[in-house]
Structures are given as C-alpha cells and as structure tokens.
Structure 1
Amino acid sequence: MELPLVVGVDGSESSLRAVDWAADEAALRGLPLRLVFASLWEQYESAAGGGRSSEQMLADAVVEAAAERAHRREVDVKISTEVVPEEPVPVLLREGRTAFALVLGSRGRGGIAELLLGSVGLAVAARADCPVIVLRGGHDNQASSTMRGRVVLGVGKEPEHSAAVRFAFEEAAERRVPLEAVRAWRCPGYETTDHPLMAGEPARLHEEQAVQALDAALRDAPEGVDLHRRTAEGPAHKVLLDASAGADLLVVGARRRHGHFGLQIGRVAHAVLHHSSCPVAVVPQRA
C-alpha cells in the first residue's frame, strides 16, 4: 500500500499553494494525494440542532475546490478528501502516522503575520512522525511549477543514514536537479592565536571538522545524483537562509526523543521555517 501525501487545507491562499505543490510532488513520486480539512465547527453549532451547519458546508466546499484544483493541475494523481470536526493539529499528527509526508501552507486564515509560520504549521512540524513540508517562499496563491535547479540539505549533527539525508537525495533524484549539502561552522571568539591548540590558524580546525561532518553524513551517497558539498562560516540558520534563495526545497532534520513531549525542533529548523525563501522539509530522526 502506497502511503499518501497529505495536505492540510483551509481555503487560505497559503493552503492553495500547498495543494499545488503537493499535487506536483505526488505526480513526481507516483503517490496518492489526500486533502484534509479539520475544524471544530461541530462543537460550536451542535446545540443549534438542525441539518448541516454553514461551517460544515464551507468545509465541504473548500476540500471539493481543492480537489478540483489538484486534479486540473495533475490529472493522473489519485485524490481523496476528508473533513474532520476536530482541532487541526491532532488531526494532522494522526494523519502523519500513515503518510509519506504532510504538506502545509505557511499560514492559515487566522491573520498571522505574512513572514511568520502559523502555530498549526509549527506544532505539526515539531511533532509529526513523517516529513513535514511547509510552503515558504512566494506570497501569492500559486506554487511555481518551474524547478529552479537544486535541493539544499542542511547538514547538522545527523548520524549516518539519517532520514533527512535520504529524503534530500530522493528529492534531488526525483527532480533530476543537483543536491547542495551545506554544513555551517563558526570559530568561537575566545579562540585566538594565543590558544595553544589553535596557534597560527584559529579557524582551520573548525572548518576541517565541518568538512569531516559533511563527509560522514554523505558517506553513502547514491549514484546518479549531482552532489555539491559546501562548508560556510557563520550561524547555521543564516547560512541556510542564504542558501534557500533560488532553491526548490530546503531539507533539515529534527530529532525526536522517545518519551519527550512538547515541540521537538531545533533552533535552526525553527528559524528556517519562519524565514526561508523556499519550501522547507523538516524530516524527523528518532534518537
């Protein structure tokens, strides 16, 4: 059974871009597409009694319009829809247990500032069991079908065979574009040429460690992908935000620790989710 690509829809322009992007991705990977609308309208209108509520009719209309839009964009993709009378976050997290990935807009209908990720997207990206793709970049209701030419992978403290590395290679291979793997490094200010281990070249050790980390993460790189390795001095979030300009997708990892509750997402992933110039894929890695 093929796992579906699940999109959270709510009728906003941002979620329509997510539908477009997910339809293209589903066609690229040969996956079914599932469109889900979650809302608590039933809780607020059940006391009124009677037939279908206006909110339920709106939800049905939203998912129907989203399905038609996806079908027009990718006619061969199998599409299913569901409207669920629950809070969006638990619904999407539950959907993520049996999904290839979750795709979300960067903000919903709640008036969140345009540059920042909404609370639903952040909560899902920080807790989901599957990759979460957030449609950063662009501020209209169209997802560009033109591939810009590269996937960017942010290499942090990933173990070998990490899920984020595998996901990035798959995306680059499916899109037939180069993969740029980036590892940021910094030389702490207290490490000067007077430091006994850093005499003469205070930055060289840190740069070499970054190169070694990059090599370790990419040790099992598959054949057929045009791989570019790059180290860059600076804060990791800034390096990756700069790299996101002109990219098709930015891929970062997120550690999930067994028994830990709340948001499990690092500062770097948090920053790029809010400010990336391109879509961001947060790929969970079980510790």
Structure 2
Amino acid sequence: MTEPTRLVAADAIPAGTIVVGLDQTEHWRDALDWAVDQAAREHRAISLVHALTPSRSGDSAARSLAGARLLDDARERVGHRAPEMTVHTVLRTGRAVRILHETATRARLLVVGARAHPTLWDRVTGATGGQVARHPSCAVVVVHRHTRRAAARGVLVAVGDSPLSREAVAFAADQAAQRGSPLTVLHVVPLPSVSRAADDDVGARRRLAATISSVRSSFPSVAVRTAVVRGDPVGCILQAGRGMALIVLGAHHPSPADLVLGSTVTPVLQRAACPVAVVP
C-alpha cells in the first residue's frame, strides 16, 4: 500500500506537469494509464485532479471522503506503473471544467477520459465555457475507454489553411518522435468543391509542403507522409485515424476553410477509437 494522498493547492502544482481529470466512474483508469505512459516518456510529474460537485444535501463530508479515496486509488495505480514518478493531487469543490482548466494553467497536457466526462467537451466549447476553450492554456487529450495501444500505425494530424495549424503539426511531430512512429499529415478539402477540386488540391499540397519542410528540419528522425482528400472532414479524419496511436487537431480555426475543420472537433472526440489531442 502507498502512503495516504497529500492534497495540494492547485496553484502549488509545478509548471509542466501532466494533469489528469478523475471522476467516480471506472473510466478514469484509461485516461490515467495513458497520462502515466506519456509522463514517463517525457520524464514529467503527474497531477491528479478531482472536482466535487457543489451540493446542498449535507453530504459534503461523505463526498469529500469518497473523493480522497479516489485520489488514493489513482495514486496507487500510478505507483504500480511508474514507481519513481512524482504525483500531485488536487481535491476541490466546484465545476469540473473550471477546476480542470485552472489546474492546467501551467500544465504540459490536460488529460480526461472520453466517458468520464460525457459532456465535458460540449460544455467547454459551448456558451458557458466557450471563451476558455477557444484559448486553452495547454493541449487537451481525450482518451477513450479500452484504448488500444498495440500495433498503432503512428500519429495523425488534421490541418487546415491557417498558419496556426503549425502548432498542431509541431505537437504531433513531437508525439511521433517520442514514440518512434511515423506521422501522417492530413488535409481535408470539404465538399462541395467540385468545380475547384483541382485548384484546391494543388493549393493544399503547396501549403502542406511548406509545413512539412519545417517539421522535417525540426524532427529529422520522423517519417512524414501527407494526404489531401476531398469529402466530409469528420468521416475522413476518422477513416485516416483507424489504428493510429493519436489523432491531433488544432483548437483555433480563424479562416473560413478552417471553420469547417473546427466544426469536426466534437464529433471526432466522440467517435474516435484512439486518443485525440486538441492543441491551442
């Protein structure tokens, strides 16, 4: 048994940790395992965060105890997978979205389970938390339950026309380099664009070439392939993402073409069979 969890204030967590959001369902384990493996690759500490929903029922003491036990279980799981890893724990009362983002202000990554917070991304990107989601402080990784880790084909990043896509590509290239995996850079030309299909393809390939040139100079060990396809962005990304270790999407989409890609973030998060990272 590990020693009891010592809670710390969110602002006491050092910069650069990987923050994991936990809840009282069994689905947090997949997100935690992915985060621990990632933290081990990057030699980083991990921060476990659980938010207690405000209640007027008078059961706050029991819920606090249950939350502390959850953090104990998670900390013990980390200890089994990575005994030398530094673990921080945070238990706070309030809205999960707000607490997670406040805790992740200086984090390397924020990791959540896809089913652990079934409406998390909808709430973050909706009217209530939209401003926070449009300007996240770090990449958000959503891990689906029973994520397959074996025989992954590499990392996929879907890009648009904006220069801001370079941030997503750089993140994806770094992830591929850490895993020793190939990187696929996908550009989807949305339909309908039949009359301009050839011009769209040529322009997209030129933009991809400029982006890839930068990636190859920064990550020479990563094998990079590009793909330009026409069709529904969601379907194309999900199809290309089959068997991948990670799908990477950009969070900002200021151009009209990128707005089409931006509208795919939520359905890709909901339907992807592998972890999905959304990069600011």
Please confirm whether the aligned pair reaches a TM-score higher than 0.5, indicating the same fold: yes
The answer on whether the counterparts of 2:191 and 2:232 sit within 8 Å (CA) in structure 1 is no
Match of 1:19 in 2: 32
Match of 2:41 in 1: 28
Amino acid of the residue matched to residue 12 of structure 1?
T
Amino acid of the residue matched to residue 46 of structure 2?
L
- Gapped runs of 5+ residues in structure 2? 1-13, 255-260
The answer on whether the counterparts of 1:92 and 1:124 sit within 8 Å (CA) in structure 2 is no
Match of 1:277 in 2: 273
Residues 1:67 and 2:75 are matched in the alignment: yes
Question: 1:146 and 1:2, CA in 2 relative to 1: closer, same or farther beyond 3 A?
Answer: farther
Secondary structure of 1:7 counterpart: strand
Residues 1:244 and 2:250 are matched in the alignment: no
The answer on whether the counterparts of 1:148 and 1:246 sit within 8 Å (CA) in structure 2 is yes
Residues 1:159 and 2:158 are matched in the alignment: no
The answer on whether the counterparts of 1:71 and 1:77 sit within 8 Å (CA) in structure 2 is yes
**Cα offsets for 1:115-140 (capped at 9, x unmatched):** xxx2223444761321000013xx44
CA offset at residue 247 of structure 1? 0.4
- Separation in 2 of the partners of 1:168 and 1:6? 19
The answer on whether the counterparts of 2:46 and 2:85 sit within 8 Å (CA) in structure 1 is yes
Residues 1:149 and 2:153 are matched in the alignment: yes
Calculate percent identity across the aligned residue pairs: 27
Residues 1:216 and 2:213 are matched in the alignment: no
- Separation in 1 of the partners of 2:140 and 2:97? 13
Select the residue among 100, 104, 114 that pairs with 1:96.
Answer: 104
Amino acid of the residue matched to residue 8 of structure 1?
G
Secondary structure of 2:175 counterpart: helix
Larger radius of gyration: 1
**Cα offsets for 1:63-103 (capped at 9, x unmatched):** 11011112211222211111111110110111121111100
Secondary structure of 2:171 counterpart: helix
CA RMSD of aligned residues (A): 2.3
The correspondence of residues 182-197 of structure 1 with structure 2, limited to 5 A, is 182-186=186-190, 188=192, 191=195
Residues 1:170 and 2:174 are matched in the alignment: yes
Select the residue among 100, 103, 114 that pairs with 1:106.
Answer: 114
CA offset at residue 2 of structure 1? 4.9
- Gapped runs of 5+ residues in structure 1? 110-117, 192-201, 258-264
Amino acid of the residue matched to residue 217 of structure 1?
T
Amino acid of the residue matched to residue 38 of structure 2?
E
Residues 1:44 and 2:44 are matched in the alignment: no
Secondary structure of 1:181 counterpart: strand
**Cα offsets for 1:15-48 (capped at 9, x unmatched):** 111001000000011111000000124x4255x7
The answer on whether the counterparts of 1:177 and 1:226 sit within 8 Å (CA) in structure 2 is yes
- Separation in 2 of the partners of 1:6 and 1:282? 15
Match of 1:207 in 2: 201
Question: 1:124 and 1:78, CA in 2 relative to 1: closer, same or farther beyond 3 A?
Answer: farther
Amino acid of the residue matched to residue 204 of structure 2?
A
Select the residue among 53, 60, 63 that pairs with 1:55.
Answer: 63
TM-score (norm 2): 0.81
CA offset at residue 60 of structure 1? 0.4
- Separation in 2 of the partners of 1:214 and 1:155? 9
